[in-house]
Structure formats: structure tokens, C-alpha cells
Amino acid sequence: MPTDRIADPQLAALLRSARAEPRTGVPEIAALREASRARAAARTPGPAMPTVDGVVAGVPVRTYQPGLLPVVVYLHGGGFVLGDLDTHDAQVRRLAAATATTVVAVDYRRAPEHPWPAAVDDAVDVIARVAADGTPVAVAGDSAGGLVAALAALRLRGEVSLLAQLLVCPNADPTLRMPSVTEKGRGFLLDVDDLRRWMGMWLPDPAVRGSAAVSLLVADLTGMPPAVVVTAEHDPLRDEGDAYAGRLVDARVPVVHRCEAGLVHDFPTLRDVSPAAAAAEDRFLDDAAALLRAR
């Protein structure tokens, strides 16, 4: 059992409980999606604000605080397989409130029904449509959504001048070869077996996973928008997120980068349980607001 320092007693208790639960086979995707929605429904709702569900460029979206500028296009996490507008509603509301922006959350197509590049295509189409009239736009995302957001920014480079990329615990290396995947892939809520299975659904061709088309650790990052990249010490995706931040610096892209000590993957979803997770998300939100103000 891992003995690493955990950020607070509440998170340590949650991890002990999760580690005590036996893994029983491989759950069906439908069951995993329902469980994800149930966990989200049990969390504290986000701040009250106007929202509108609609369609942009043929893609379902939920728009928070319509009419404000700039616009942040948000791509949710969930391993490219789970997650939707409802699972991330509270998280997106906090982002919209903290940054005083309009946020457009994208209900992109998910694997296994729709493997790569469907999610990135959807993100690109939404961002391009939102920015078509000169509206200032940034991208944001967590986990798998962080990779979708960054890949969309790469594809739109030279066509859309994005203000920022705001990423929490981003997946940056679809090969899943960085040391933290093995070191933190058991006992810290995000399991390495699930990671590899979901990545196989999204990118069935292993040859593509290490290519510049999908890996932020291989792609040319010249001209990417300024970034906030926050990772977590006990996240299997920590090393690749840290490496992405480093590559942005090497490409002369302004970056605010921090690895949150003692925390786990996608810590904003744990703010009801862990005061340390809540404080870390607040730091991310402050950084995001500051970067957007500076732009």
C-alpha cells in the first residue's frame, strides 16, 4: 500500500476506503457513465448563474453566463469515455464565476462509440464558430479534456488567436509511458488499467498514440497560447503534465505551472471531501482569472 504523504486527513481517509474496495471484473461503459453521473449529482452544486443548453456547429453545448467576454470553451474530463455536461456542471460554474467569463462547455463525442479524432473535431468546430466574429476565446479542460483542448488549440493555430489554455491534470502523452503512470497507477483513485483500457478505446491504433497528431510531448508547440497547467503529486498523469508545461516553456510560451503536493488526479472533483483539494482548485481559478485579465 502506498505510504506517500497525503494532503489532508480527509483525503487520506477517502483513499483508505477506496483501496479497501475489491475490484470485481471490468464494468460496462454504460454502468461507469451512470456511476460518474451519480457521483457528480451528490456533490455540492456550483454557483447559481444563467445557463442555456443549445447547439454550436452541430455540437451540444451548455453556455454559462452568456453575454460576458471573453468566452472560455471547456472540454470535460473522463478518460475520453466518461463525463458529460452534467458531470462537470459544478466545476464549470466555479470557473465561470471566478473568471467572470462566459463558459461554453462542450458535450463532445466520446469513445468507444466515437474514437479519435471525433472529440477534437467537435472542440475545433465549436471554438472556430465561437471565435468567427472576432470574439476573444480561451480553451480549458481537465484530464482527457485537457488533451482535447490543447489538441484543438494546436489544430487552430494560425487560424484563431486563443487567449489562453487553462488545464488541470491534463493527459499529454497518450502512450502512457511516463514513470508516474506506473508509480501512481494503483491506490490513488485513477487506476492504470482503466487508463490503458480507455486510451485503447479512444486511440485503437497504437502507432498513432506517440505521434505529433495526438501527443503534446511530440507536437511542435510554437505559437501556442499562454497557459496555466496544474498537476498533482499522486496523479498517474503528473509527469506528462509537468513535461508539457516544460515543453511550453522551451517553446517560449508563457506558463504558470504548479504541481499540487499530496493531491490526486482531478482534485477539483474532491473539494467537498478535502479542504486541500478545494484550496488547490481555488489557486487554479485565481491563476486562470489572472491570465485572462492579462490578455
Q: What is the pLDDT of residue 216?
A: 98
Is 3 a member of any domain?
Answer: no
Average the pLDDT over 103-124 and give the result. 98
Whether residue 143 lies in the annotated active site: yes
Is 4 a member of any domain?
Answer: no
Question: Which residue's entry shows cell 486527513?
Answer: 9
Average the pLDDT over 77-102 and give the result. 98
Is 272 a member of any domain?
Answer: yes
Average the pLDDT over 72-100 and give the result. 98
Is 2 a member of any domain?
Answer: no
Determine which one of 143, 180, 215, 274 is catalytic.
Answer: 143
pLDDT at 59 over 70: yes
Determine which one of 76, 88, 257, 265 is catalytic.
Answer: 265
pLDDT at 23 over 90: no
The number of distinct structural domains making up the chain is: 1
Is 59 a member of any domain?
Answer: yes
Average the pLDDT over 25-44 and give the result. 93
pLDDT at 4 over 90: no
pLDDT at 173 over 50: yes
pLDDT at 158 over 50: yes
Is 249 a member of any domain?
Answer: yes
Q: What is the pLDDT of residue 27?
A: 81
Whether residue 215 lies in the annotated active site: no
- Work out the mean pLDDT of the chain and round it to a whole number: 96
Q: What is the CATH number of the domain that holds 260?
A: 3.40.50.1820
pLDDT at 167 over 50: yes
Query: Which residue range forms the structural domain that includes residue 199?
Result: 9-19+28-294
pLDDT at 146 over 90: yes
> Model confidence over 176-225: pLDDT tens digits?
999 999 999 999 999 999 999 999 999 999 999 999 999 999 999 999 99
Question: What are the Cα distances from residue 270, in Å, to 3, 9, 62, 155, 284?
Answer: 20, 13, 23, 32, 14
- Residues whose CB falls within 8 Å of the CB of residue 213, separated by 6 or more in sequence, listed in order: 219
Whether residue 76 lies in the annotated active site: no
Number of H helices, E strands in the chain: 10, 8
pLDDT band at residue 270 under the 50/70/90 scheme: very high
What share of the chain in percent tops pLDDT 70?
Answer: 99
Determine which one of 107, 235, 239, 287 is catalytic.
Answer: 235
Is 229 a member of any domain?
Answer: yes
Question: What are the Cα distances from residue 80, in Å, to 120, 215, 256?
Answer: 10, 15, 25
Average the pLDDT over 89-97 and give the result. 98
For 255, phi then psi, to 5°, come to -140, 135
Find the helix packing angle between 89-99 and 275-294, rounded to 10°. 50
pLDDT at 16 over 60: yes
